[in-house]
Structure 1
Amino acid sequence: MRLKKFVAIGTAVVLSLSMVACSSKKNDNSKNTPTTKEENEGAGTEEETPEVSDDETLSYANIVLGESYTDISTTIKFYNNRTDMNQSDYAGKKWEEYVAEFNKMYPNIKVDIDADTTYADSALLRLQSGDFGDIMMIPEVDKKDLSKYFVSYGDLATMESEVRFASDMAYDDQVYGVAYMGTARGIVYNKAVFEAAGITELPKTPEEFTAALTAIKEKTDAIPLYTNYAAGWTMSAWDDYISGTATGDATFKNQKLLHMSNPFENKADGTGAYAVYKVLYDAVANGLTEDDYSTTDWEGSKGMLNRGEIGCMVLGSWAYPQMQQAGDNPDDIGYMSFPITIDGKQYASSGPDYRLGINKNSSEDNQKAAMVFVKWLTEESGLSYDQDGVPIAADDDNFPELYSAFEGIELVSDDPAVKGEEDLLNALNADSDLMVSAGGNTKVQQIIEHAANKTMTFDEIMAEWNAKWTAAQESNSVEVNQ
């Protein structure tokens, strides 16, 4: 399918999917702890920075693929989390295949793939040690520290004309990260299970979703909602729904949340952060999830969903192709929006997956080669399309067929923080220990634990979170809007 147009509202990127038309699946263009000052001082990143000659400023926009830097002969290392793309049984396109295609254009730039099964835990340590090669998927660090580790791709205005989500890794008008793909936030589900349960319309509110899960439990043998509690990192996915999806507001996460009084309180209209997390609490409390949350198996869950042993899982659109490839029933895999409706309309948060950063301390040739490879991944490789992701190149409107399920739903990308508050969310997260949209696995796991063990009501949990957020605002002298 091809999305007709990216609609900009303010500085937000909002996609209107009301005019989508499906096409064949072809690419026409063939979450960690913020660093502290002390940690950075001991990270070993104060080496002399390679300089690019004055007459040849390295920038993403100036690179012409197939023409720029064709004389470079070097090997670069790409540190990333996609270990599945290295495995022999991976049904999709493997890293080695992408690199082979890249080498048709740049035969003298070799790319070593360093994929890490513990990336979420190890990336920040590798960053601080400087041992992350030439390109890495950027972990959560303070925006002001980006220039300590990474090369600038160019100024923000220029990069916004080149790639989507450019502001996500921007600081002081410079962009330090380019996403390897974008995602929408929704729910991956098994169509056959929903049909067997008699669900004829996809749920659009929390109440309808709970009713659908109940029907699955009563009429099928499938686990209605699989939490993936034990994996840990999967829990942080729930944070991704509290902004655009739950509010329809592109300014919520990076601007309003910082100054909001009691952001986790009940809005009593089925919207907001309260409504998102309550979906999970109610599902567990009502026995609509797996019997023992502590024994969930992330890798095994993919095949279970494919076989119809699971009804649905709350994960970004990146999970959709993995579920399709996990068994013999790819056509049974569907993707739907999260069940929240705001004044009669549905929204879905959209944003970058990991952003690719280029090592500031790499050699000049390796910096050039790395930026060429990043631009090739963005414009020529088809990687984002192959992963059913939102395309990154700003002029690429070739969206995977997956997004036809979002017809009439607006995908909302978060606006950046206002100048001077780029790192305030990190500070509030650290001081509150809630880590909203920053790898907040523990707090979401605790929702499941309390719901299953009946040790705290949901309102008690939200009251505790509000108290922590308020205390963090006070310790950071944040002006709170009542």
Structure 2
Amino acid sequence: MKMKKFLALSTASVMALSMAACGSTDNGGAAESSVASTTPATAEASSEAAAPAEVTSLNYAELTLGEDYTDITTTIKVLTNRTDLLEDGAAVPFQTYIDAFNEMYPNITVDIEGITDYASDTLLRLQGGDWGDVMFIPAVDKADLSTYFLPLGTTTEMDGQLNYYNQMYEGTVYGVPYTAGVSGGIVYNKAVFEAAGITEMPKTPEDFIAALKQIKEYDSSIIPLYTNYAAGWAMGGQWDPAISGSATGDSTYMNQKLLHTANPFADPGDGTGAYNVYKVMYDAVAEGLTEEDYSTTDWEGCKGMINNGQIACMVLGSWAVPQMKEAGDNADDIAYMPFPITLTSGKQAASVGPDYSFGINASTTEDNQAAALCFV
């Protein structure tokens, strides 16, 4: 099987696991409990299909792995935020991918660098220019994608390759997601919830705050809701996605409607909308249901804490579930639930879409660009 087909298969597997974690059932499964908040490739391409940029001969869709560019001998540098995959004990360490790649391309050396404060540091590195060959594309303006990254193909070409992508501009794709998942939800410790007497998952903001209070009453040493405030990205980057999927059930709301809505943060009176997403955060802090000192939260440390029951839950995407499971001996206690908002339809929802995307340096050498494309 060609490697370029692997992403579609792995994405499907991730989505199946993510939807199962959200409580899908046989009568509708993921369709009943979630809605796609990040637009699938076929739909999004139609809105950005005009005037594609000129694509180089290095084309993602046309690459034949193990046959093309096998004569290249070089070293490529790859930047990643997944520092956990560089550590001993990772379920699928990065070296596993490198070893598989080197079976096809033994003369291409892959140098991986993990960056903890990825969102900020990579933007600075990008400005400097000499950052390497492959990175997860940080938050750059889409109009600037061609300045930094190699075009990989048109949206029409990529529609047949990927289930999801979001790094495109005017019909040209610059990034390939390394995974997809569910966002706007909550990773929690089932054993803690059950021990505190919570037998049903909260489906409204009021029920959720009541559950956090119940956990604190059960054991005051447990942090009911850990904010990860000091990490920065764990606030807006994890709470904001709930505005589209969970709080509105409208995949276009966050990026297309919110700015054109009068008083978008007003209380709609029905337990939905952005107001209720942020009210959950406000009430949890006001009621003393979060960590005592939010300025000293520890992202790496919190993984073991939720695994061993010191933390009850955190607002994170489904991508975090494997990391929390691997952080201790209680993998079976870690689970995922939708954000505690029920739509007027009576259903809960979650956002589905790609995570970070691999981008290739537009300024590196031609050999390194080809080697990077094979690796991606």
Fold similarity call, TM over 0.5: yes
Q: Distance in 2 between matches of 1:277 and 1:177?
A: 31
User: Aligned pair 1:323/2:329, yes or no?
Assistant: no
Q: Distance in 2 between matches of 1:20 and 1:68?
A: 45
- Comparing 171-180 with 156-165, greater Cα deviation is found at 156-165
Aligned to 1:264: 265
Shift of 1:295: 2.9
**Does the CA-based 8 Å contact 2:23-2:337 persist in structure 1?**
no
Cα 1:349–1:234 change in 2 (3 A) is same
Q: Distance in 2 between matches of 1:298 and 1:278?
A: 23
Aligned to 2:169: 171
Cα shift readout 1:168-209 (whole Å, capped 9, x = no counterpart): 111110001111111212111111101101111111111111
Cα 1:18–1:171 change in 2 (3 A) is farther
User: Aligned pair 1:358/2:360, yes or no?
Assistant: yes
Shift of 1:231: 2.3
After superposition, residues 107-186 of structure 1 pair within 5 angstroms as 107-166=106-165, 168-185=166-183, 186=185
Shift of 1:2: 10
Aligned to 1:81: 81
After superposition, residues 294-309 of structure 1 pair within 5 angstroms as 294-309=295-310
Q: CA RMSD of the aligned region, Å?
A: 2.4
Shift of 1:118: 2.7
Q: Distance in 1 between matches of 2:104 and 2:296?
A: 47
**Does the CA-based 8 Å contact 1:2-1:20 persist in structure 2?**
no
Aligned to 1:94: 93
**Does the CA-based 8 Å contact 1:3-1:19 persist in structure 2?**
no
Q: Distance in 1 between matches of 2:145 and 2:302?
A: 36
Q: Distance in 2 between matches of 1:124 and 1:296?
A: 23
Shift of 1:300: 1.6
| Counterpart residue type for residue 135 of structure 2 | M
| Counterpart residue type for residue 308 of structure 1 | G
Shift of 1:94: 1.8
Q: Distance in 1 between matches of 2:234 and 2:273?
A: 21
Aligned to 1:233: 233
Find 1:345's aligned residue among 341, 344, 347: 347
Cα shift readout 1:247-292 (whole Å, capped 9, x = no counterpart): 1111112211232222211111111111111111111111211223
Q: Distance in 1 between matches of 2:310 and 2:75?
A: 45
**Does the CA-based 8 Å contact 2:84-2:90 persist in structure 1?**
no
- Comparing 64-73 with 260-269, greater Cα deviation is found at 64-73
Shift of 1:19: 4.5
Shift of 1:81: 1.5
Q: Distance in 1 between matches of 2:328 and 2:110?
A: 31
Q: Distance in 1 between matches of 2:334 and 2:205?
A: 21
Q: Which runs of 4+ in 1 moved over 3 A?
A: 1-4, 15-22
Q: Distance in 1 between matches of 2:199 and 2:208?
A: 12
Shift of 1:335: 0.9
Aligned to 2:32: none
Q: Distance in 1 between matches of 2:296 and 2:368?
A: 44
Q: Distance in 1 between matches of 2:99 and 2:309?
A: 36
SS at match of 2:61: coil
Aligned to 1:104: 103
Q: Distance in 2 between matches of 1:20 and 1:70?
A: 48
Q: Distance in 2 between matches of 1:261 and 1:360?
A: 41
Cα 1:63–1:192 change in 2 (3 A) is same
| Counterpart residue type for residue 173 of structure 1 | G
Structure 1: state its 5+ residue gaps: 7-14, 23-50, 375-482
After superposition, residues 384-463 of structure 1 pair within 5 angstroms as none
**Does the CA-based 8 Å contact 2:342-2:348 persist in structure 1?**
yes
Q: Distance in 2 between matches of 1:352 and 1:71?
A: 32
User: Aligned pair 1:245/2:246, yes or no?
Assistant: yes
Cα shift readout 1:5-53 (whole Å, capped 9, x = no counterpart): x9xxxxxxxx99555999xxxxxxxxxxxxxxxxxxxxxxxxxxxx95x
TM-score normalised per structure 2: 0.83
SS at match of 2:368: helix
Cα 1:121–1:72 change in 2 (3 A) is same
Cα shift readout 1:400-457 (whole Å, capped 9, x = no counterpart): xxxxxxxxxxxxxxxxxxxxxxxxxxxxxxxxxxxxxxxxxxxxxxxxxxxxxxxxxx
**Does the CA-based 8 Å contact 2:133-2:364 persist in structure 1?**
yes
User: Aligned pair 1:370/2:351, yes or no?
Assistant: no
- Comparing 230-239 with 141-150, greater Cα deviation is found at 230-239
TM-score normalised per structure 1: 0.65
**Does the CA-based 8 Å contact 1:3-1:21 persist in structure 2?**
no
Aligned to 1:200: 199
Q: Distance in 2 between matches of 1:373 and 1:333?
A: 32
Aligned to 2:256: 255
Q: Distance in 1 between matches of 2:96 and 2:125?
A: 26
Q: Distance in 2 between matches of 1:123 and 1:328?
A: 33
Shift of 1:345: 1.0
Shift of 1:106: 1.5
Structure 2: state its 5+ residue gaps: 1-9, 16-21, 30-54
Cα 1:21–1:365 change in 2 (3 A) is farther
Shift of 1:123: 0.7
How many residues are paired up?
Answer: 331
| Counterpart residue type for residue 175 of structure 2 | G
SS at match of 1:347: coil
Q: Distance in 2 between matches of 1:325 and 1:223?
A: 20
Cα shift readout 1:337-384 (whole Å, capped 9, x = no counterpart): 11111120111012221111111112222111111111xxxxxxxxxx
